[in-house]
Amino acid sequence: MEIYLVRICERPGGSLYIDRKPHATTDDDYIAISHVWGTPDTVQETTVDGVTWKVSLSSGKQDILSLLRRVDICGDGWFWMDLFCIDQTGSSSISIPDQLMAIPSIYKSSRCVKVLLETPVCKEWQEAALHAFEQGPINEERFQEEELHHGSSCPHLLFADPWFERLWTRQEGLYACVLDFVILKPVSCERPRARRDPTSAWITHGTLLAHRFRAESFLLDKLAYHGLQPSTAMGSLFSIYFDVVYRHHLNIILAYDCEPGPGPKYNPIMEAWRSQRCTTKPRDYILAVFPDVNGYNVPDGARKMSFPELLVDAIRQPAVCANFQIAPKVPRGMKGPSGKATESALPWLIDEPSNIGEAYDTFTTDTANSGAEIRNRIVPGNIELEDIDATASGLEMLKDGWKRTVNIERHVVLLSPSGPCTGTTRGNISDAAGLLQQYFVQEFMHIAASQWLLPRGGMHALELRTKGVISFDRIRDIPEEEFAHELKRFLVCLICGTSLPTADMVLEAADVVRVSTPHGPLLGILHKATRLMAKRDDLILVCSSMWDLQGFCIGLRVNGGMSVRGRTAIPNNSVWDSIEELVTKS
């Protein structure tokens, strides 16, 4: 595959410049660079000798040529770096779509991928961790507690680097067979003397957990990409974590007996969503991920297309349809009636998502039945829509319905990692919203946790991390209207598996309802205007072949057809068993 490669050369006067190789392919010997560009407020456009366009450089890479010429990075060898090797000029001999489609091969074929980490990293903790490892086997649980204890007072831990937050660096890290992490700014330990109050310490602890979870998620993602089964990957997690965070070197093929990837069961779309990573251009939520789908083609003019345009183009491409079924978690008709009934069942899309979690929040993908025709069947029997009692006194009824009729395990698997339902996102509990979201987690999610704790009283024996930090006594003083608003936000996240920003947009046009059916009640979400205007007999419950990913659809009869206007929670076996035969016959 034809690509651009460059190297750094020195002029007679001692100045450095970029030299482009006359002809290069992915078969050449070269290093690939992975780095964070920076944010619009931290980068400066700079002229680099040998490059015909302005190069955007972050503060840590202002002396870019001297930096890259270090012997532990590129030296005087050939390398690929997006700043110098993605040519968007009109004179480029390789088209922009071809350059973008080549990126996976560029990183897969490189001799090594050098990861440049620009944020400060504590030297003392790095040395202490390596010393502990050299002394013998490490107690993983104790080490993790010590790591968080150090991070609670010294913020300079490697896993907090933005490299673990950006989408393109995730892709580059996945593709690499050999990774070298280069710390550009080692610093002395900065542990303040003042102790934090319990609430601040709890929030800091949660932030550290979120950073480490993001790094661990990437490593599990990488092991899955290279074909390891989940059970094997979990057993290797601490080892690969130590390789990356403290040894700064990873040879995935040699050390973990992996294949170059992607593995045959790898789902690039779902794994990208779970990563919750961000990028500055929304279109890149498609251009960075979908080239991993065999047969996907970057459309002409892709860099001028919006994110929704690119996603609709992607999910309609034959290669994507052959590999995945797209299950809308938030159908378009829930946000607003569409002119065409078929379009109402497509996922509603956010125009300007702030991360890939939001970009992919409104749909999920299934590989088990890829290529199969999606069939919709009407569930026999009338349905009734009721307001939920979104007050403190009505909470028990909502929890009881959640426990009796909903497939809780399936919903937990589909939860957004950045949503409130996992309890890992720790906001400011001094305001009502932050306090209530933590309260709802403990009210609803203990039901899921208790299913796996034996004996049945095991849940009550656990001591939650909120003990001694959060008091829920203040909840009784919160106005009912505010309580109801926060509860509905939480329930949208719980039912649809979204983040709170997505839930807020859903609630602008839809509302949480109780859907009473002959087979049991289910929580649901329905377009507000449809509920106000539709006649009772015009509303139907529809079961598609993807019901176990999106629940049942709430449909409206229109012009002899059906328009999707909402959805229910995913029913459990007791509900499904009572209607399966009826649906199959219909």
| Residue of 186, 179, 137, 192 lying closest to 158 (CA atoms) | 186
For residue 355, count other CB atoms closer than 10 A to its CB: 22
pLDDT, average across residues 145-154: 91
Instruction: Decide if pLDDT at 558 tops 50.
Output: yes
Contact by Cβ (8 Å): 164, 214: yes
> Which pTM was predicted?
0.88
pLDDT, average across residues 9-37: 96
Q: pLDDT per residue over 202-217, tens digit each?
A: 778 888 988 999 999 9
Residue 520 φ/ψ region, left for φ over 0, alpha for ψ in the -120 to 50 degree band, beta for the rest: left
Which H or E run contains 378?
strand 376-379
Instruction: Decide if pLDDT at 418 tops 80.
Output: yes
The answer to which of 30-39, 329-338, 433-442, 452-461 has the lowest mean pLDDT is: 452-461
Distance CA 317, CA 314 (A): 5
Q: What is the average pLDDT value for the chain, to the nearest integer?
A: 89
pLDDT, average across residues 88-92: 85
Long-range Cβ contact pairs of 424-427 (< 8 A, separation 24 or more):
424/206, 424/209, 424/210, 424/213, 425/206, 425/210, 426/202, 426/203, 426/205, 426/206, 426/207, 426/210, 427/203
Q: Select the more confidently predicted residue: 333 or 382.
A: 333
Q: Strand (E) positions, 468-538?
A: 510-517, 520-527
Tell me the two tokens of residue 31.
């290093």
Q: Select the more confidently predicted residue: 231 or 273.
A: 273
Q: pLDDT per residue over 467-521, tens digit each?
A: 556 778 889 999 999 999 999 999 999 999 999 999 999 999 999 999 988 888 8
Distance CA 169, CA 114 (A): 11
- The pLDDT of residue 238 is 92
pLDDT, average across residues 82-87: 94
138 CB contacts (<8 Å, ≥6 apart)? 132, 242
Instruction: Decide if pLDDT at 268 tops 60.
Output: yes
Distance CA 308, CA 150 (A): 43
**Alpha carbon of 502 to those of 231, 412, 414, 440: distances in Å?**
32, 17, 15, 18
